[in-house]
């Protein structure tokens, strides 16, 4: 029986995984072991002979991956894989999978919620009413969205669904993503911005949907924010590390950014940010992905990829380190 470790997956248990493996007809071929811990050493003690591992936020460095001696597939319960050393995983022949399409509806809806909250100053007005202030003008000037410009930074699955949800508001939609073909933009009725600077200069509302990589870390910096259209609203449901938070704080303080809605911050482990507590900033605790349905879907798609590798000797359908093809451990084992 092949051993698979579920590590640091936020107290979900293993019922959904077992149910899905039963549905696939291979539950009797896989032993699921759950570890509720944040300490990677607990994983390594248990996973020394595990052929599959499923994790969420734990960092998998070269040193950590080297300890997974028999691991053939490691799946991240997330869209982003910035916590994995992909080069090292390929070196050790470990297939890395993620779940890139499990919470598209939820994150797009959360983006819209933060946009509306900031545009209508909902959280700010609520706080004032709780403090005993009943004043329709307490939050300053409000503007209608129709006729304004909404800019989406990056245009992957979540941004595309967000664009569909934004259509009824009557705004012009633009996006910057050099990796997406023109016909995709046309299909969604979105115009291509020639540059990120041009998007910031012309957008009344901006939402950030980019993955976090070495090249995108702190891409929203002082220079870019200096070019922003005065009074713009900024939304981030991507990753906190995409933003220079000190620069964003300055832009909010001097009015270049009139309000910000953030589901992510850079230091989420300690829940620390200079942006927390600012009057014109609404922050949610990285909850955009969450619904009961999305969590089940995420877990099923994660364990499905484990089964694809261990039971069917296939590459996982959401393979991230594509250069592992040909050197993966499971392929060597059947040669």
Task: Quote the pLDDT of residue 334.
Answer: 53
Q: What is the pLDDT of residue 335?
A: 47
CATH topology of domain 104-283: Rossmann fold (3.40.50)
Q: Which CATH number fits domain 2-102+291-334: 3.40.50.720, 2.60.40.1930, 1.10.3720.10, 3.30.300.30?
A: 3.40.50.720
Q: Let me know if the fold of 2-102+291-334 is the same as that of 104-283.
A: yes
Mind telling me the catalytic residues? Answer: 239, 268, 286
> Tens-of-pLDDT digits for all 335 residues of the chain?
788 888 876 667 788 899 999 999 999 999 999 888 878 788 888 777 899 999 987 889 999 999 999 999 999 988 889 889 999 999 999 999 999 999 999 999 999 999 999 999 999 999 999 999 999 999 889 999 999 999 999 999 999 999 999 999 999 999 999 999 999 999 999 999 999 999 999 999 999 999 988 899 999 999 999 999 999 999 999 999 999 999 999 999 999 999 999 999 999 989 999 999 999 999 999 999 999 999 999 999 999 999 999 999 999 999 999 999 888 988 876 54
The whole-number pLDDT of residue 95 equals: 97
Report the alpha-carbon distance of residue 233 to residue 206 in Å, rounded.
6
Cα–Cα distance measured from residue 203 to residue 185, given in angstroms and rounded to the nearest whole number = 17
pLDDT at res. 160? 98
pLDDT in the model for residue 10:
65
Report domain extents, the chain. Answer: 2-102+291-334, 104-283
pTM: 0.88
Q: Which of 5, 90, 61, 3 shows the shortest CA–CA distance to 315?
A: 90
Rounded to 5°, the CA angle 10-110-164 comes to: 130
Q: Cβ(316)–Cβ(97) under 8 Å?
A: yes
């Amino acid at each position: 029986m092949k051993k698979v470790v579920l590590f640091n997956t936020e107290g979900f248990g293993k019922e959904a995984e077992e149910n899905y493996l039963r549905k696939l007809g291979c539950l009797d071929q896989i032993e699921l072991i759950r570890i509720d811990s944040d300490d990677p050493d607990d994983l390594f003690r248990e996973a020394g002979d595990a052929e599959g591992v499923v994790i969420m936020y734990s960092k998998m460095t070269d040193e950590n991956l080297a300890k997974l001696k028999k691991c053939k597939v490691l799946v991240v319960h997330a869209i982003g894989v910035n916590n994995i050393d992909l080069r090292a995983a390929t070196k050790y022949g470990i297939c890395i999978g993620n779940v890139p399409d499990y919470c598209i509806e939820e994150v797009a809806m959360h983006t819209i919620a933060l946009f509306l909250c900031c545009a209508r100053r909902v959280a700010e007005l609520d706080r004032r009413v709780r403090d005993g202030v009943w004043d329709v003008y307490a939050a300053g000037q409000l503007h209608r969205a129709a006729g304004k410009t909404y800019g989406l930074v990056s245009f992957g699955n979540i941004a595309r669904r967000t664009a569909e949800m934004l259509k009824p508001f009557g705004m012009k939609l633009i996006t910057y993503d050099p990796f997406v073909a023109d016909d995709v933009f046309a299909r969604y009725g979105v115009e291509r911005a020639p540059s990120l600077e041009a998007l910031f200069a012309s957008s009344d509302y901006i939402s950030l949907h980019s993955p976090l990589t070495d090249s995108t870390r702190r891409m929203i910096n002082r220079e870019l924010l200096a070019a922003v259209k005065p009074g713009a609203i900024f939304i981030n449901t991507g990753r906190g590390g995409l933003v220079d938070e000190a620069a964003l704080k300055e832009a909010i303080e001097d009015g270049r950014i009139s309000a910000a809605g953030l589901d992510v911050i850079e230091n989420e482990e300690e829940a620390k940010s200079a942006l927390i507590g600012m009057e014109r900033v609404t922050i949610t605790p990285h909850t955009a992905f969450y619904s009961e349905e999305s969590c089940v879907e995420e877990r099923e798609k994660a364990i499905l990829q484990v089964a694809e590798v261990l039971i069917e000797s296939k590459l996982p359908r959401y393979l991230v380190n594509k250069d592992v093809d040909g050197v993966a451990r499971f392929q060597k084992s059947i040669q």
